[in-house]
A and B are shown apart, each in its own frame.
Chain A
């Protein structure tokens, strides 16, 4: 009798858990575009083996452009009002610097320091799931000024533009740049949010779109053409993807004996137990599948945010 009650309670809890489980909310961050940084002189230049490479200097931009701060602050405020508080890029950069300094100083009582691989170091950048890339240019016609404003929502993993708002404001003889910029944000943010909402609705209907990479360590003696019961390993992985993607939707963009790249992979927002999932959760199942017989392949799973995961075969 007691067992039955416990079983009933557990079932109820599971139903409630599934009912109230929420999909993982993407993080959003506003960053100035490369074009804006270049036009306004916020670029760093370095020599990459003889080739001059320019990259945006966000720290300098945040420290020196009050207009940029005003625009980001306005966008942050309006997005928070829509229930989507944004990650602040300037604060993220400061946190990263602080953490690096802390890690460098941190030692255990026995003299050990914090473990950090080169990949860990490389991953230490300000990141978000969706980047709101901001560009504006000031147009001048005689005494009149206007602003061309461009806000692009870029998925950090699929590199797709998932939302947009672009346009030129009304020309003005007297309004200051700060006022024109505020007006541009007010004019365009609703349009941007409409297209962002469309993207979310598509995600809820057809699953989250992610990228999955499969690679191999050179120390492993097998490869993706290794035969398992008449099927190559690459085909086995593709079969697993077909069975587990929403409506079997994915594209194999690249496939060689050493690597496979799957794009437009649509994964369910919730796993079998009703828990919200992401690229890592989805690929953990593939990892288990490959570790189990008859494949028995040791492999390493790495992730990047909600939408990108890499499995490296042959070692941990």
Chain B
């Protein structure tokens, strides 16, 4: 009887631990999502990618390093649409303007972007982590209570642009002709 109750206690503790960790992870993910929406990330160009792609390093913030890595993908696509990035003469990157110059577009098309940037959303089609998501030692920094993690990602820029043009979110070069 004693043995059974001990086993039961252990099972309950394990269940609590799993629920807590899942919840904490979800909370951290939500926090990271919030950070993305506040444009709390930094982007650096790493080099000229293959045709139709952009190779960038995204620094994301999170209390958990693995969430920051996952969030980097979302931030990279977000940056391409809303922020662009500065040129980097060392790597031969010119300055890249964002796909939209309308700062209110995210609010105006909130329905589209909420679904687009949801966990597992369409944004994942246009980005991949370069080098298996390995983070260089100098790109892993502890800033206060959270991590600032730099991950190199490749964004399928041309596909992303075409998709947004087809959805009527951004204008194409031939719009109106």
Contacts and interface: CB of A to CB of B under 8 A. Distances in A.
Interface stretch (A47-55, A79-87, A226-234, A290-298): A79-87
A193 interface: yes
Nearest to A74: B51
A189 to B, nearest CB: 10
Interface in B46-86: 47-51
Contacts of B5: none
A190 B90 contact: no
**Chain A, interface size: which category?**
20 to 34
A204 B96 CA distance: 24
Contact of A194 (B97, B158, B174): B97
Contacts of A193: 173
Contacts of B174: 25, 82-84
B48 A167 contact: no
**Chain B, interface size: which category?**
20 to 34
Interface string A261-275: 000000000000000
Given A167-B87, A186-B48, A190-B157, A22 B176 contact: yes
A82 B171 CA distance: 12
Contacts of B97: 191, 194
B91 A170 contact: yes
A285 B26 CA distance: 67
Interface string B92-124: 111111000100000000000000000000000
A25 B177 contact: yes
A23 B87 contact: no
B172 A170 contact: no
A23 B47 CA distance: 38
B4 interface: no
B177 A82 contact: no
A84 B173 contact: yes
A204 B89 contact: no
Contacts of A22: 176-177
Contacts of A133: none
Interface in A21-57: 22-25
Interface of A: 22-25, 78, 81-84, 146, 165, 167-170, 183, 186-188, 190-191, 193-194, 196-198, 200-201, 204
